[in-house]
Amino acid sequence: MTQTEKRTGKRTALVLGSGGLVGAGWEVGVLRGLLDAGIDPTGADLIVGSSAGAVVGAQLASGRGGLDALYEQQLDGEATEPAVRLGIPTILRYAVAVLRSRTPEEYGRRLGRIALAATTVTEGERRATVARRLGRAGDWPARPLLITAVDAATGELVAYGEDSGVPLTDAVTASCAIPGVWPPATIDGRRWIDGGIHSTANAHLAAGYDRIVVVAPSARGSKVVLSPARQGADLAAGGARVEVITPDAASRKAMGRNALDPAHRAAAARAGRDQGASCAEAVAAVWTG
């Protein structure tokens, strides 16, 4: 154990970013590919999940079923959600929100207004869908797990944990509430939207941990939303060993253009598995070196 580990007691963190159903499949594939090479970051001392990563993180942290079973679920072809997409008008409103915002919180407020005005399925229907995806992983695990969401009114980021008093299914439903697609989730009288709005990885929540692996289906960043690579660099500057994995060319092709279409989930998982195996050496240098 290093002096840093003795000081903080915080050794390893796995960060799972946002990216829709397809991104979730890719994340699981990457982790399965790492396991093929003998590396298992799913045993991290902390798991941080945003949106797609919230679902995967909750499933992994629960320890129910294991990574093998979770990977096979990505290949079975079962559609746990309907295929949807962001319409062009909504995409344009997202773009305008970025251009007019100066901070992630301001951006979150603008997208919050989009979310609150959108016509979607009911909150109850959406929560039931998320509950089905979580399956037996519907309760907070004993292991540290943080699930992110953004306040639709203030744009502020919150990280729910077991001590929040919020049911895990509600926290994950909020984290997956994509503005303009799914309804904001109501928790304690406030409305919450997708945790990936603040940043696609929210890797800053792993600050203080010594060895960090970030698996982020979206590599994007902007003038107000920090990219996973930028957040990884900031963590490294703070003294952590960090490896950031975002989709390579083969994975991007397999994932397609619509992250919310489950038809691409299996291909994304297979491509992620190949990519995970190919980057295992770099991950091992962080995780076990």
What is the C-alpha separation between 275 and 33, in angstroms, rounded? 7
Contact in structure between 253 and 243 (CB atoms under 8 Å):
no
Which member of 18, 51, 62, 227 is catalytic?
Answer: 51
Calculated CA dihedral for residues 160, 276, 60, 254, nearest 10 degrees: 80
Which member of 151, 194, 210, 261 is catalytic?
Answer: 194
Q: For the chain, give me the number of helices (H) and strands (E)? A: 12, 8
Cα angle 243, 249, 252 (rounded to 5 degrees) comes to 90
What is the C-alpha separation between 1 and 8, in angstroms, rounded? 11
Full DSSP string of 37-52: TT--GGG-SEEEE-TH
Q: Indicate if 194 belongs to the active site.
A: yes
Q: Which residues are catalytic?
A: 51, 194
